[in-house]
Amino acid sequence: MSQANFKDAQSYLSNQILGQEQLVNRLLICLICGGHLLVEGAPGLAKTKAIKTLSDLLEGDFQRIQFTPDLLPSDITGTEIYRSQTSTFEFQKGPIFHNLVLADEINRAPAKVQAALLEAMAEKQVSVGSKTYPLDDLFMVMATQNPIEQEGTYPLPEAQLDRFLLHCNVDYPNAEHEKQILRLVRGEQTADFPKPETMLTKQAIFTARKEIAELHMSDAVEDYIVHLTMATRTPDKYDSDLAHWIEFGVSPRATIALDQVSRAHAWLNGQDFVAPDNVMSVLHDVFRHRLLLTYGAQAEHIVTDMVIDRLLDVVPVA
């Protein structure tokens, strides 16, 4: 039943967020896996609308945080407020204490503010002073960053990038979807796809997480995942170009993520097993933010997506 609910939610979201089917799919995958999503794309591509629309289908709440250079860590996590009536300090929860959190333009805030998210994303808890406050079991961060305007931005450190389950690049919609968006804004047509009658409850999400963990994965597919990881760490054993391009390979967290995301991708497609195609479909979004390239590769204008394409070419499918 939970699988049907997620399929209905995916169809509804794709109808509301025109031309961004991959973003919708990655949002649901992160929700199912209990991970966090980093979205990179130009302004106006419905990134904010996507997660807000998803929150309307959830048994949970949503909060947007606009990251700016003058933001403080306490603006994220919360702070202790002195109550003169009782002569005590009372913790005032910050916006991080919600189920779905949109960290808009996360790279516009300085490192200390970005680091305030690190514990919350990794441990699902917030430490303020000598006390630790747990977050809800259903907790997901979707962070956005603008790839065009880099003035006044602070690149995310590798440690925080690794906390994101997926890094999704959002591109412009095609001509047909652009026409539909125009007509929708002018009121000439409506996004009349019916909203699912059943909300995605916390129980349904936790059931989905259990089901994807039990999805069948053969030893051959498991070996394929491991070989893709190892090819980033010892690239000279696989390909001379990879050896020239890759400075540091992906961490074990990437292997775990690739396993989880491949399972969720297969589950959303109605499969009862994980195939190599599922691994290939999500590999770019899992590895994109975890690979560090050499200066030589950057000088040759090699980008991580090109390296991942090469990985898929040289690592044999078991």
**Residue 270 neighbours by CB under 8 Å, 6+ apart:** 3, 7
Report the distance separating Cα 224 and Cα 317, nearest Å: 6
Over residues 92-102, the pLDDT tens digits come to: 899 999 999 99
Over residues 81-128, the pLDDT tens digits come to: 888 888 788 888 999 999 999 999 888 888 888 888 878 888 898 888
Domains of the chain (ranges; CATH) run 2-186 (3.40.50.300), 215-314 (1.10.8.80)
Top-confidence residue, 72 or 193: 72
pLDDT band at 130 (very low <50, low <70, confident <90, very high): confident
3-class secondary-structure state, position 274:
coil
Top mean-pLDDT range of 37-51, 172-186, 263-277: 263-277
Question: Considering all CA atoms of the chain, what is the largest pairwise distance in Å, rounded to the nearest integer?
Answer: 70
Q: What confidence score (pLDDT) does residue 86 get?
A: 81
Q: Strands, DSSP E only, in the chain?
A: 37-40, 62-66, 78-83, 88-93, 100-104, 125-128, 131-134, 140-145, 166-169, 246-248, 292-293
pLDDT band at 150 (very low <50, low <70, confident <90, very high): low
Q: Which whole number is the average pLDDT over 298-304?
A: 94
Residue 121 main-chain phi, psi, to 5 deg: -70, -40
Residue 97 main-chain phi, psi, to 5 deg: -85, 60
Q: Which whole number is the average pLDDT over 170-194?
A: 79
Q: Which whole number is the average pLDDT over 208-221?
A: 95
Q: What confidence score (pLDDT) does residue 278 get?
A: 97
Q: What confidence score (pLDDT) does residue 307 get?
A: 96
Q: Which whole number is the average pLDDT over 223-244?
A: 95
**Residue 4 neighbours by CB under 8 Å, 6+ apart:** none
Report the distance separating Cα 302 and Cα 307, nearest Å: 7
The reported pTM is 0.91
Residue 153 has pLDDT above 90, yes or no: no
The answer to whether 243 and 235 have CB atoms below 8 angstroms apart is yes
Q: What confidence score (pLDDT) does residue 294 get?
A: 94
The answer to whether 256 and 313 have CB atoms below 8 angstroms apart is no
Report the distance separating Cα 22 and Cα 19, nearest Å: 9
Question: In this prediction, what percent of the chain has a pLDDT beyond 90?
Answer: 51
